[in-house]
Amino acid sequence: MRSVYIRIIQEKHSMIHNMHTIKKMCFFSEPGVFNKLIRRYKYLEKGFEEEIKKLLLFLKGFTESERNKLAMLTGILLANGNLSAAILSSLFNENLVKEGVSASFAVKLFKSWLSEKDISSVSASLRKVGMDSRLMELFPANKRSCEHFSKYFSDAGLKELSDFARNQQSIGARKELQKELEEQMSRGDPLKDIIAYVGEEIKKNNISEQTMIALIWASVMSSVEWNKKEELVTEQAIKLLKQYSPLLKAFTTQGLSELTLLLRIQEYCYDNIHFMKAFQKIVVLLYKANVLSEEAILKWYNETHVAKGKSVFLEQMKKFVEWLKNAEEESESEEEEAD
């Protein structure tokens, strides 16, 4: 028992020594020497990263003051690109998480990192190694919620990190929702069941109708394998959208949702070259199915269209838009005569 205790003490002192050595190398060597050295010799880079991972695994062996210094140093090293954000996996150690050491250490680390780099740079580093979706693991399972994470880091003065995590969770939830919708469509589930499911998800996850209609569009267009021939793909698209027009209609109750759908259609037809000639036929179909109103189509045509394929799509829609305008003028004239 005594020998084990001695070994633990020796390990701790060894790690503290390593930490001080790293700190001296970073701060007291000639500017740029540490960076040049570690990047020139790749085996040093890997070994250095492994050493930091070990230090993080044994955080409980350090005093609070030592942990704070290590957190600050690690944040600076991450900001300078001397470390990969993959080292954060050590903080997901069950014992560190359970005792709150991981979350506390992460606060100091991210404060140091964000003092050197902005949230865009930090988030890019996290995404690169798949850490962007794992930050909740800094907390025990019973506290692993967006609300708890948000409050903890916001209270610590890291609202930007809190907002980033909330956004990541929202993106994850939307991906799962789209996947489920695609599966329901591929199974041929009844439309009333799909509509009910989507309605529940909107309430449960507080999703806006505009976000949902974009998801539905993406799900519908991903639910089939498209023909490679341009002359056949339009016919296939019309048939599919006729089938799912009641689903699209159920979630375009607002003018802004209709415009969102129109923009998604425009972007999709531009990004998928076989659909370039299908745009006008898709819009007309959805107009006839009462998914898109004439007000939304005219607003898209006159104001809100995006640059992607603009000249092609506006030209395609020219005659139909003229017809809509004439029909609108005739309707107004009839109303005036009735008055």
Which are the contacts of 185, defined by CB distance < 8 A and separation ≥ 6? 194, 219, 220, 223, 244
Residue 25 pLDDT class (50, 70, 90 cuts): very low
Q: Which of 33-37, 230-234, 271-275, 289-293 has the lowest mean pLDDT?
A: 33-37
Q: pLDDT digits over 119-135, tens only? A: 999 999 998 998 988 89
178's torsion region: left (phi>0), alpha (psi -120 to 50) or beta?
A: alpha
Question: Which residue, 217, 282, 284, 299, is CA-closest to 250?
Answer: 217
- Cα separation, 67 vs 105, in Å, equals 7
Average pLDDT value for residue range 61-67: 89
336: pLDDT strictly greater than 60: no
Q: What percent of the chain has pLDDT over 70?
A: 83
Answer whether residue 6 shows pLDDT above 60: no
- Quote the mean pLDDT of the chain: 85
Does residue 104 or residue 172 have the better pLDDT? 104
188-338: in CATH 1.25.40.180? yes
The pair of three-digit structure tokens given for residue 276, joined into one six-digit string: 């370039």
More confident residue, 92 or 231: 92
Residue 2 is predicted with a pLDDT of 44
Give the integer Cα–Cα distance in Å for 263 and 276.
14
In this prediction, residues 68-80 reach a mean pLDDT of 91
CB 49 within 8 A of CB 90: no
Q: Of the spans 72-81, 222-231, 244-253, which averages the highest pLDDT?
A: 244-253
- Among 241, 201, 235, 234, residue whose Cα is nearest residue 220: 241
pTM (2 decimals)?
Answer: 0.62
The larger pLDDT score, comparing residue 39 to residue 325, is at: 325
pLDDT at residue 95 tops 80: yes
**pLDDT of 166 above 90:** no
Query: In the chain, what are the domain boundaries?
Result: 2-132, 188-338
- pLDDT at residue 1, rounded to an integer: 43
CB count, 10 Å around CB of 306? 13
What CA–CA distances, in Å, run from 95 to 53, 88, 137, 139, 167? Answer: 15, 15, 12, 11, 28
pLDDT at residue 325, as a whole number: 87
> How far apart are the C-alpha atoms of 243 and 301, rounded to whole Å?
26
- Average pLDDT for residues 73-92, to the nearest whole number? 91
| Amino acid at site 16 | I
Q: What is the pLDDT of residue 332?
A: 55
**The token pair that represents 90 in the structure block:** 């050590």
